[in-house]
Amino acid sequence: MYAPDYILKPESALAVSWSWLNLNVNLFGSQCNGIFGGDLVFMSIELKCGEKLKDFIIEKLYSSKKVVIVSPWISKETAEIILDLVSKSVELELITTNDPQPYHVRGLSALVSIEKKLVKEGNPRLAKLGLLLIVVGLFTTWFYFVGLPLLIIGIVLAARYRSIYQMMCGPKVRNVLVVTRNLHAKLVVTDSAVGVGSLNFTEAGLTANIECFAWVYDPSTIRKAVEVVNELKSELQKSSQDICSAVKHRVEALPRKVRRRYRRTLVKRTR
C-alpha cells in the first residue's frame, strides 16, 4: 500500500515525498526527502523507526569529530560507547540528568573514576599489633588489670599507625552537564547532521524499544541546533551539579545492599 505524495499550501513552500513499503512494516525503515523553499535549500532527512536503531545512530557518531548528546537517561552500555568515542579523539559533550533510576546511576558511575589516594602512610605492623591487642584485651576483660590496659594500648596503636586513604573521584569525560531539572529532550548533534527522535541514549532505547529517529543533513539546521544547545546549556547551567557529586548523592540514596555492590564495583574499576 502506498501513500500518495502531497504538497502543503504554496505559501509554506514545502514539498514532502513519503513512501511506505507496505502497511504492516511502514514503521520499520523508511526514508523521507524534502525541499524547503524560499531559497530552495535542499534538505535530506533519513528516518527510521523500529526496535534496533543502534547501528543507524552509533555509526554516525563514530564518523564524526564533534558530538553533542542530550538525553535524560543513559545506561552503562551507552556510557561505554561514550568513553570509546572519547578515546578515539571525538570531541563529545553530554547533557543529562541526575535521575535516581539505578540503570542511569550505573551509567553515570561508568563516566567517573574512583581511586584510593593515600593521605597518611602508617606502620602496618604496629597497626596489626594494635588490632591483635584489642582482640586479646576483649577476651581478657574478665581480668581487669590485664584486659583493660591491652585494650587501651591496642586502640592507640591501631589509631596511631593505621594508613589513611581518601576516595578520589574524577570525571572520565570532560564535558558532562548533569542537571537537576526535569530535562526530557532527546537530541544528537554532530558536525554533519542533527539527530532527533523519541529514544533515550540507553541500551534499551537503542536496541529494545520501538523508537523513531531521524538524521537531518542540512548545514543551516546544524548551525541552528548548535545555537539551541548553547542556549540550553546556558539555561541549565544554573541547576547543574558536578558529575562526581551527582554519582555520590545517588549512590548514597540507594538501598544498603545495592550501595555496597556499587561501591565495590567502582573501586574495582580502578585497580
Q: Is the pLDDT of residue 137 over 50?
A: yes
Helix/strand/coil (H/E/C) assignment for every residue in 84-99: HHHHCCCEEEEEEECC
Do residue 199 and residue 231 come from a single domain? yes
pLDDT digits (tens, 9 = 90+) for 138-151: 888 777 677 888 88
Do residue 42 and residue 157 come from a single domain? no
- In sign, the C-alpha dihedral spanning 28, 198, 9, 46 is negative
- Which of the pair, 181 or 258, is modelled with greater confidence? 181
Do residue 55 and residue 151 come from a single domain? no
Do residue 136 and residue 225 come from a single domain? no
Do residue 175 and residue 61 come from a single domain? yes
pTM of the prediction?
A: 0.66
Do residue 90 and residue 147 come from a single domain? no
190 in the Ramachandran plot: left (φ > 0), alpha (ψ -120 to 50) or beta?
beta
- In sign, the C-alpha dihedral spanning 78, 79, 82, 84 is negative
Determine the Cα–Cα distance for residues 137 and 127; give it in Å rounded to an integer: 15
Structural domain range at position 206: 6-117+167-268
Q: What is the CATH number of the domain that holds 216?
A: 3.30.870.10
Do residue 27 and residue 130 come from a single domain? no
Considering the domain boundaries, does residue 1 fall inside one? no
pLDDT (0 to 100) of residue 109 = 87
Q: What percent of the chain has pLDDT over 90?
A: 36
Do residue 53 and residue 132 come from a single domain? no
Number of domains in the chain: 2
Q: What percent of the chain has pLDDT over 70?
A: 74
Q: Are 127 and 161 in contact (CB under 8 A)?
A: yes
pLDDT digits (tens, 9 = 90+) for 8-59: 333 333 333 333 222 222 233 334 444 333 333 446 889 999 989 999 999 9
Euclidean distance between the first and the last CA atom of the chain, given in angstroms as a whole number:
59
pLDDT digits (tens, 9 = 90+) for 70-105: 999 999 999 999 999 999 999 999 999 988 888 898
105 in the Ramachandran plot: left (φ > 0), alpha (ψ -120 to 50) or beta?
alpha
